[in-house]
Amino acid sequence: MTESINLNSSKILIVDDNINNIKIVTKALEKIGYEVCFARSGYEALDIATQEIPDLILMDVKMPGLDGFKTCTRLKEDKLTKDIPLIFLTAHETEEEYIIKGFNVGAVDYINKPVNLDILCARVKTHTRLRTLLNFWREKAQLDPLTNLINRDGLNKILNKAVANFGICFALITVDVDFFKLYNDNYGHPAGDKCLIKIANAMKNSSTSSKQKFVSRIGGEEFSIILLGTNQSKAKSDAEHIRKVIEDLQIPHSKSKVKKIVTASIGLAVITPGTNDTIVSAFEASDRALYRAKHNGRNRVEVS
């Protein structure tokens, strides 16, 4: 699996008030393929780290204004930067108590000055690769293994961001494949898996009015789709388009009580800015609409 991961493509932030130190470390890191940015104070580092989101930070402990320990503490308090690994570089305070303090505030390593560049590069490689692999497996953990769509956990993260951004109107579309148990019973589970994969790919590749579409499988034959920056009229049209895309696959389903092909029932909820809607209420509203779609004959779209 790791063959597809670029383990050397990483951005390093160097934080040091001495420009000569920055130049020396930058030259060594760029020579082995790293992208480098730098800051000359703790305050500048906080700004750059939130903008650039580097893969690793190399930070001097002794700096005027905000020292390395305090800067590291602030970075670990920020959701955007708390997971970025940080290595302290310093010519001062190398006694055990200061090294332990560095680890306690969140550093992953500690290198003394004058820096041995070979050792520094080796440790940078180790920590950036660990971060890259960790990010890879975190992403894999949010994917459905059958369809390769995002799963419920991944969907919740996207919804959390959408709800937190009150300026964005978004739609939650819940899709349930009609009479899928009968399909599995009649054609077998391997055929059922192939059916779900075809539906997943069709929904993922379908065009919508929203430029930001996230398709997920939340369990069994049920899918959810988030459309960001939309309204009820556009979202309803998009949901109807998705229903037709599934129908147009023309997957045979002799046991279906709707048509003799695979169809889907769809529930739609639109969350508008300035309301008290939450992720839970969004799912509840979409599920209520889905229930009505099933109750009213299936292979249709209902809006909450």
In a domain, 41, yes or no: yes
* Domain assignment of residue 299, yes or no: yes
- Between the alpha carbon of residue 242 and those of residues 96, 207, 208, 213, 225, the distances in Å are 62, 9, 9, 12, 10
Predicted local confidence at residue 277, as pLDDT: 61
- Same domain for 132 and 175, yes or no, is no
Q: Per the structure, how many domains does the chain have?
A: 2
Same domain for 216 and 77, yes or no, is no
Cα–Cα distance measured from residue 104 to residue 120, given in angstroms and rounded to the nearest whole number: 21
User: Are residues 161 and 21 part of one domain?
Assistant: no
Residue 145 in domain: no
Give the burial class of 237: count Cβ atoms within 10 A of its Cβ; 0-12 exposed, 13-18 middle, 19 or more buried. Answer: middle
Please report the pLDDT score of residue 5 as a whole number: 46
How confident is the model at residue 4, as a pLDDT? 45
pLDDT at 112: 87
Q: Which domain holds residue 91?
A: 2-140
Within a domain: residue 239?
A: yes
Contact 264, 195 (CB under 8 A): no
- Residues 230 and 289 reside in one and the same domain: yes
Q: Which residues are catalytic?
A: 221
Q: Do 167 and 127 sit in the same domain of this protein?
A: no
CATH code, domain with 57: 3.40.50.2300
Assess whether 289 and 223 both reside in one domain: yes
Same domain, 116 and 203: no
- Is 147 a domain residue? no
Which residue among 140, 163, 178 closes a domain?
A: 140
| Residue at 240 is within a domain | yes
Instruction: Tell me whether residue 146 is in a domain.
Output: no
pLDDT in 10s for each residue of the chain, 304 residues: 333 445 456 899 999 999 999 999 999 999 999 999 999 999 999 999 999 999 999 999 989 899 999 999 999 999 889 999 999 988 755 567 778 888 999 999 999 888 999 999 999 999 999 888 887 777 777 889 999 999 988 888 887 776 666 567 889 999 999 999 999 999 999 999 999 999 999 999 999 988 889 999 999 999 999 998 888 999 999 999 999 999 999 999 999 999 999 999 999 999 876 666 667 788 899 999 999 999 999 999 999 8
